[in-house]
Amino acid sequence: MVDFGGIRIKDVRFLGLRDDVVELYQQCSVLVHPALVDAGPKVVNEAMACGLPVIVADGIGTTRIVSEGENGFVVPSRDSNAIAHYLRFFYNHPSETERMGHNARVTALALGLENHVRQLTDQIYSLAGRA
């Protein structure tokens, strides 16, 4: 059993490389990404696109898309008590979890569309010989 900031986790499984990620996200309520350094973790964007609010450490690149209390929370790196605090929050407030999950999906989809449009525009300008 793992004791994580007062929350006891009986069953931790490492699933390895999977091709059913969307189905796995749909079984979850929240994503925790406590990495110390990660320039642009796809896992956070994927989870948000699947409607999960997130808890991320402040050392990763996606902190700019996390709106505190709207689609997730940013915690200090190496602060397991802060992670546990927000896990308790999500556990005790299912309607907030649902609301924030909806907001996370909206955020992720908007960013995805924005990036797609920007890339398409860049390609068109490149083909036309313009910068």
CATH architecture of 21-128: 3-Layer(aba) Sandwich (3.40)
CA distance 110 to 16: 29
Q: Is the torsion defined by CA of 86, 88, 94, 96 positive or negative? A: negative
| Count of CA atoms in the C-beta half-sphere (13 A) of 75 | 21
Where are the domains positioned within the chain? Answer: 21-128
pTM of the model: 0.76
pLDDT at 43: 86
In whole angstroms, give the CA distance from residue 5 to residue 78. 12
For the ranges 18-27, 42-51, 90-99, 111-120, the maximum mean pLDDT occurs at 90-99
